[in-house]
Amino acid sequence: MNSTVGMENFSLSTTYDPDKLCNPADYPEERWPFLFMYLIIIISGIPSNSFFLYVSWQNIRKRNALGIYLFNLALSGLLFTVGLSLWVNFMWHGVWFHGDAVCILSVILLFTNFYTSDGLLCCIALNRYLAVVHPLKYPILRRLDTAVVISVAIWVLVVSFNAATIIWIDSYNSEEQRAMCLDVFPLRGRLAQVNVARFVLGFLLPFLLVSFCYRRICVAVCSNQATEEQERR
């Protein structure tokens, strides 16, 4: 999820304007840290997410709703690490060889991982909050079929939002003969507004919700421990 930093805004372009474009692929000395980071994510992400897919599937077989959210979280991470191989190729060569459609699909996949992960982490936090703080309330929200519906809704909403907001830009420069899938700065008009919406909906609100849930969980657990100690006395 953190690897989405630096890719929030992209275009497919072959023109280079030093006053407007900023992309690490243009500077070999700055390219290697990104390449190394992407390789570490892929090498560690594929086996770890595959393992968590297996573990969460075992929870699903036990009719545990939490397993649904964990399964989708691991699936999102696995898809991201597989798609990240395209960005490794881009950083290695400094040129995007795969065309505009693949560029856009790879960025949609990138954003989809980021925002589905946030949504699913919110679901996990709410699930634990209800189980610890309100164990006898809202049992329907902790049912397996409810978790399936919520997970599908998150995927559909995130993919739809990304498909609607990512801008198609195809600029071919016959002199440079160089295609790139890259970040463009400064952000312009509508795209800047979209990124503000992404920040609020995809980071700020989930952060506040998760913080609230786990704070209440900690308060409930500490209160319960204090009560047990008093009863033992």
- Over residues 14-46, the pLDDT tens digits come to 444 444 444 555 556 667 787 888 889 899 989
Q: What would the pLDDT profile of 79-93 be if each residue is shown by its tens digit? A: 888 888 887 877 777
Predicted local distance difference test score (pLDDT) of residue 151: 95
Domain containing 23 equals 2-232
For residue 166, give the amino acid letter: I
DSSP strand pairing (170-171 vs 180-182):
unpaired
pLDDT band at residue 75 under the 50/70/90 scheme: very high
Angle at 144 between CA 143 and CA 147, to 5 degrees: 90
Domain of 20, CATH number, reads 1.20.1070.10
| pLDDT tens per residue across span 170-216 | 332 334 545 556 554 455 666 777 778 888 988 899 999 999 999 99
Number of domains present in the structure of the chain: 1
Q: Which residues have CB under 8 Å from 12's CB, separation 6+?
A: 96, 100, 103, 104, 168, 169, 170, 171, 179, 180, 181
In whole numbers, what is the pLDDT of the chain averaged over residues? Answer: 77
167 or 75, greater pLDDT: 75
Q: Residues 36, 3: contact at Cβ < 8 Å?
A: no
